[in-house]
Amino acid sequence: MYLFDGKYLRVKNVQLGYTLPATWSKKLGLQKLRAYVSGQNVLTFSGVKFIDPESTEFNNNLSANGANSARAYPTPIYYGFGLDVTL
């Protein structure tokens, strides 16, 4: 009676960075300078919108026997940025 399409696509880890050319870094008195942004769990494409597709809340069968047990925590989404500096 209740069938759900369980396929999903999740972008788990992404990091984009840029290293300044050595000539520019040397003008700043540095050997190397790299800036980056990163993210974890930034996108999820799923046909099932009411629960995280990686959840173990339903014991892999989506029955309603434990649907409100408070074990289904939201998946954290993380964004960060940083600088790698070599003197």
CB atoms within 10 A of CB 33: 19
* pLDDT tens figures, 43-68: 988 887 777 777 766 555 555 555 55
Nearest of 15, 25, 27 to residue 80 by alpha carbon: 15
Domain contains 1: no
pTM of the model: 0.68
Angle at 36 between CA 30 and CA 42, to 5 degrees: 170
Structural domain that includes position 37: 8-86
Domain contains 3: no
Domain contains 38: yes
* pLDDT tens figures, 20-44: 999 999 999 999 999 999 999 999 8
Q: What is the dihedral angle through the alpha carbons of 46, 48, 54, 57, rounded to the nearest 10 degrees?
A: 170
Work out how many domains the chain is built from and give that number.
Answer: 1
Domain contains 2: no
Domain contains 43: yes
Domain contains 66: yes
Domain contains 15: yes
